[in-house]
Amino acid sequence: MQERLVELKTEALEKVAQAEDAKALQDVKVQYLGKKGPITEVLRGMGKLPKEERPVIGQMANDVREEISTAIDEKQKKMEEAALEKQLQEETIDVTLPGRPAQTGGPHLLTSLIEEIEDLFIGMGFEIAEGPEVEADYYNFEALNLPKGHPARDMQDSFYITEEILMRTHTSPVQARTMEQHKGKGPVKVICPGKVYRRDTDDATHSHQFTQIEGLLVDKHVRMSDLKGVLNAFAKQMFGEEREIRLRPSFFPFTEPSVEMDISCKMCGGEGCSVCKGTGWIEILGAGMVHPNVLEMAGYDPNEYTGFAFGMGPERIAMLKYGIDDIRHFYTNDVRFLNQFHKA
Ligand SMILES: [Zn+2]
């Protein structure tokens, strides 16, 4: 009996030493110390022993049980410590590592460009004026010398809410509204930035929604040379001191005379290249002297007051300035595109 207990003890301690994880250790515990284990069996069989041997074997069996139990507890403690140590090592934080950069947003390229143009004109004494994007036919067309049935309306087909209300096709109605507010008296000197809408099929150079910036100056004795001076200052500040401007005759219903303004091509210096289509010049904006009918409808006496107006597309200016080849890049919100201009 004693030999059997010594044997069991050696066997069990060996298995404890060999156990590699908590599960193996638990198995050893159940196998040797469980209710159906060999030591319990020994204790159960005590009745068959001679009386004088019983205390000796009992004591021994308890000692063996105690020893195995202690060995299991110690092993378990070691395993837990090792696991903790391993975890600590794996989760070490290296405080000297550089942090992950936080993703920050920034103004959209068009927003930045419009603000740049605004600043430029504010520097020349203009104020910012804004108006509704859902506009009355009267302000969008009629007050700008485009009566119903006028053929020039065809170029500005839009999205109509009703017969008389539409998404504005240009920022020019803000000019009509601003002049009207002045009730025919005193100077007006504003630029009007904002979104406009046309019923266009989207492609590389067309979009059904885009932005415009218009300028209007009305006062006594305003001349065409004043317009040229303002546009020249704008072109040089926007595109570079070395740029020249050129005014070509054009037609707009709300100005008379009307002009298109070109700037000299930066790529070829006027020699002619693919960017300027061989002409040496790049078209930037439309302008002209405010039509007497427009002044009169807004309440100004065209015999006393004159004025000039101009309008440009920030998308077109951004495309020229930064070499962007597709207008759709502005609206598809691809961060790879947008990120390039955060510090532009
Ligand atoms: Zn060129």
Q: What is the mean pLDDT of residues 115-136?
A: 95
Q: How far is CA 83 from CA 70, 155, 342, in A?
A: 20, 77, 48
Predicted local distance difference test score (pLDDT) of residue 218: 96
Specify the range with the lowest mean pLDDT, choosing from 134-143, 151-160, 177-186, 215-224. Answer: 151-160
CB within 5 A of ion ligand 1: which residues?
265, 267-268, 273, 275-276
pLDDT, one tens digit per residue, over 40-96 is: 887 777 778 888 888 888 888 888 888 888 988 998 898 899 889 888 888 888 888
pLDDT, one tens digit per residue, over 141-167 is: 999 998 888 888 888 888 899 989 999
Q: Is the pLDDT of residue 8 over 60?
A: yes
**If we measure between CA atoms, which residue out of 74, 56, 69 comes closest to residue 9?**
69
CB 289 within 8 A of CB 308: yes
- Distance of CA 215 from the midpoint of ligand 1 (Å): 27
Please classify residue 274 by burial: count the beta carbons closer than 10 Å to its beta carbon, then call 0-12 exposed, 13-18 middle and 19+ buried. Answer: exposed
Predicted local distance difference test score (pLDDT) of residue 296: 93
- Distance of CA 283 from the midpoint of ligand 1 (Å): 12
Q: What is the mean pLDDT of residues 240-263?
A: 94
The residues, ordered by sequence, that sit 6+ positions from 15 with a Cβ below 8 Å of its Cβ are: 28, 31, 32
The residues, ordered by sequence, that sit 6+ positions from 218 with a Cβ below 8 Å of its Cβ are: 179, 187, 188, 189, 290, 295, 300, 305, 306, 307
Predicted local distance difference test score (pLDDT) of residue 138: 92
- Calculate the average pLDDT of the chain: 89
Q: How far apart are CA 286 and CA 263, in angstroms?
A: 12
- Distance of CA 205 from the midpoint of ligand 1 (Å): 19
- Distance of CA 227 from the midpoint of ligand 1 (Å): 25
Strand 306-312, strand 255-264: pairing: unpaired
∠ Cα 63 69 75 (to 5°): 135
Q: What is the mean pLDDT of residues 176-192?
A: 93
Q: How far apart are CA 221 and CA 7, in angstroms?
A: 121
Q: Is the pTM for the entire model greater than 0.75?
A: no
Q: Is the pLDDT of residue 169 over 90?
A: yes
Q: Name the β-bridge partners of 255.
A: 252, 290
pLDDT, one tens digit per residue, over 309-318 is: 999 999 999 9
Predicted local distance difference test score (pLDDT) of residue 209: 93
- Distance of CA 315 from the midpoint of ligand 1 (Å): 20
Tell me the CA end-to-end span of the chain in Å, nearest whole number: 92
- Distance of CA 264 from the midpoint of ligand 1 (Å): 8
Q: How far apart are CA 312 and CA 329, in angstroms?
A: 19
Predicted local distance difference test score (pLDDT) of residue 275: 80
Q: How confident is the model at residue 342 (pLDDT cuts 50, 70, 90)?
A: confident
Using alpha carbons only, how large is the chain's radius of gyration in Å? 44
Q: Is the pLDDT of residue 6 over 70?
A: yes
Q: Is the pLDDT of residue 344 over 60?
A: no
Higher pLDDT, 16 or 251: 251
- Distance of CA 186 from the midpoint of ligand 1 (Å): 43
- Distance of CA 262 from the midpoint of ligand 1 (Å): 12
Tell me the longest C-alpha to C-alpha distance in the chain. 140
- Distance of CA 95 from the midpoint of ligand 1 (Å): 55
- Distance of CA 282 from the midpoint of ligand 1 (Å): 8
Residue reference for tokens 């143009």: 117
Predicted local distance difference test score (pLDDT) of residue 272: 87
For the chain, give the percent of residues with pLDDT over 90: 50
Predicted local distance difference test score (pLDDT) of residue 99: 85
